[in-house]
Structure 1
């Protein structure tokens, strides 16, 4: 046996260090490639930010190249997560990829890697916040439609599985269970679509009622008394401190005096970005509810009978719930597995409760 102080032990330790450095180098190159692929699909400020991130990752890669020296060897691919991220970035370049990149930055090993500099570890933490900001813009743009899609899919999966199991637990035949499931799919999808349309339209109307008046209010600004007016109160009413409100009011008046008017409300997020559109949410909710509700009906459509049908329906719905839960976890920046198991537990609990109640009612009726 050879201890750490022996030549063999030192060679083994050196070999481990080289492998670790090569892995770090490959991962940094892969991350730089991801950001450059994302930048190729963007323009303006987003493109500049992503290119700056790519340059930072290449700077980190240069650190590992210097440590490796002649041991760097030929270029290697990063780990499976980095390669998957690079593949998605080349194919999609969407908020989904940014959410994955955010999680990748959070998992940086540099806090515990003694060969990584403190500046590199700090860079990775800053990169996470930068990517979080970029992803937040995309999340805001899809938040309304995405919420309707996730809610619709999960509601369709859980409610129709519970309906099918409840009717089956009551002793109904296969044809009755199938008819019930199809009726639940159609009625639920229509109800969800209509409900989402009304909900989003109402929310947008509420936001519009609170938004600054950009049509009439600006026309009176040039006629205000410069020394005595209530313009600063507009900003104070929106939670801005008095001194800052007065500064903004003065800047606004000065801009109009010089022929450079600025919006009275500042840069505020629109209702479209926050909640989406009514039709978008309605169509998304209808389609995804119908898709989810169709899953527990599939075994009956394929002619399965008896307990096997119920087991197959439960398994299919369970897999779908895991998928939707993991998707929500990725896009929200949370742990996908935990979100997936939470979705599964909630759906299984609802379905089991309905089946038990259906069995009790069926026994009572019979």
Structure 2
């Protein structure tokens, strides 16, 4: 790693520069604390990586201390974002914090800051990729039931809001709107649960079909050493021909000491099918239902007509913003952009069915 500059600024810093450097110093301290808090909740390699990131932030911190000199002043608090990340890291330490830290590293101002060294700007770029890799590990470990929960809730919100809005616009009674909404909730939740069960079970069965037979190594002593069929096995599992021949020869010499075992497939998808089909189905059912019940709540509490439509839209809109934010954190996207996208999609579908309800309602009348 290139050493950071340890010389003071060549001129007396202006007040604006001192304020900016103090802000950088506070943010570096806050980010280092976030990495240390995350490391405290992990073990092994991930803990070491996070502590290494904290050490790098400490080097950046020292750069600003050196530039400020006697004007370093009292320690300042980091930005509101940094303090929020610190709170989440201390109390949760989840993949969501890593996703937010990934975005924080990507917005580093050092590329355009003349008083930051090239090494600091490069560090921040590398930090973004390191945090992205750690966040990806966390996303890959997330259970299929959690994934089903997030997307199930969103589907329930959009589909039942559209259904309730369309039926309400047609001019039917509140009782009919409520009955339709409850029916849509049950039908959608059952469909989602069944679909998720089939999806997870199928994925697990495909992975099981790709796993080598554990009893294969018992046949190794019977193989023709000259033909060396075993090398084909290793090549089929992704090894290059030379490495496959070498490994097969070694196994044939000591078959009991080194069974074949599974060999990683080059280019294989790293995502794992975790969780059970029943668990994913139950989560999908419950969260679809939890989302689908929100558009129906105003009618359950006796509202009707335009007030019920407005309340339903507001409640679902807030929930869509929340699920969009969660999806963004899972995928590493912009929370604001994806939250607004979810809102636009949900309201777009609801608006279309509301217009159809008005059209068919007028035709029926």
Q: Same fold (TM over 0.5)?
A: yes
- Aligned residue for 1:116, secondary structure, equals coil
- Deviation of 1:164 after TM superposition, in Å, equals 0.8
Q: Give the Cα separation in 2 of the matches to 1:84 and 1:271.
A: 31
* Structure 1 position 325 matched with structure 2 position 300: no
In the alignment, is the contact (CA less than 8 A) between 1:164 and 1:177 conserved in 2?
A: yes
Give the match for residue 343 of structure 1.
Answer: 342
Alignment partner, residue 183 of structure 1? 183
Counterpart-to-counterpart distance in 2, 1:124 and 1:318:
36
**Equivalent residue of 2:304, what SS?**
coil
Q: Which residue of 1 aligns with 2:73?
A: 73
Higher helix share goes to which structure?
1
SS at match of 1:31: helix
Secondary structure at the aligned position of 1:76 is classed as coil
Partners of 1:362 and 1:203 in 2: how far apart? Answer: 44
SS in 2 for 1:26: helix
Unaligned runs of 5+ in 1: 1-9
C-alpha separation between the residues in 2 aligned to 1:109 and 1:248?
50
Distance 1:286 1:309 in 2: 25
Equivalenced residue count is 354
Q: Distance in 2 between matches of 1:278 and 1:81?
A: 38
Q: Which moved more, 1:353-362 or 1:28-37?
A: 353-362
Q: Deviations over 1:97-134 (max 9, x none)?
A: 11111111111111111111111111111111111111
Structure 2 CA distance for aligned equivalents of residues 250 and 109 of structure 1: 55
- Mapped to 2, the partners of 1:255 and 1:150 lie a distance apart of 50
Q: Does the 8 A contact of 1:140 with 1:274 survive in 2? A: no
What's the counterpart of residue 216 of structure 1? Answer: 215
TM-score (norm 1): 0.89
Distance 1:271 1:143 in 2: 14
Change (3 A) 1:250 1:71: farther
Deviations 1:188-212 (A, max 9, x none): 2222112211211111111211223
- TM-aligned CA distance change 1:165 to 1:59, over 3 Å: same
Match status 1:94 vs 2:104:
no
Partner Cα distance (1:326, 1:186) in 2: 26
Aligned to 2:360: 361
Contact 2:212 2:261 in 1 (8 A): no
> Does the 8 Å contact 1:189/1:286 carry over to 2?
yes
Judged with a 3 Å threshold, the aligned counterparts in structure 2 of structure 1 residues 364 and 51 are, in CA distance, closer, same or farther, namely same
Instruction: Determine the structure 1 residue equivalent to 2:172.
Output: 172
Give the structure 1 partner of residue 153 of structure 2. Answer: 153
Query: What RMSD over aligned residues (CA atoms) do the two structures have, in Å?
Result: 2.4
Alignment of 1:51-130 (within 5 A): 51-130=51-130
Question: Which portions of structure 1, spanning 4 or more consecutive aligned residues, are displaced by more than 4 angstroms?
Answer: 250-257, 267-272
CA contact (8 A) 1:204 1:271 kept: no
TM-score by length of 2: 0.89
Comparing 235-244 and 46-55, the one that deviates more: 235-244
Superposition deviation, residue 252 in structure 1: 5.0
Per the TM alignment, residue 273 of structure 1 is displaced from its structure 2 partner at its CA by 2.9
Q: Which stretches in structure 2 are left out of the alignment for 5+ residues?
A: 1-10
Q: Which residue of 2 aligns with 1:4?
A: none
Q: Any idea what SS the aligned residue of 2:142 has?
A: helix
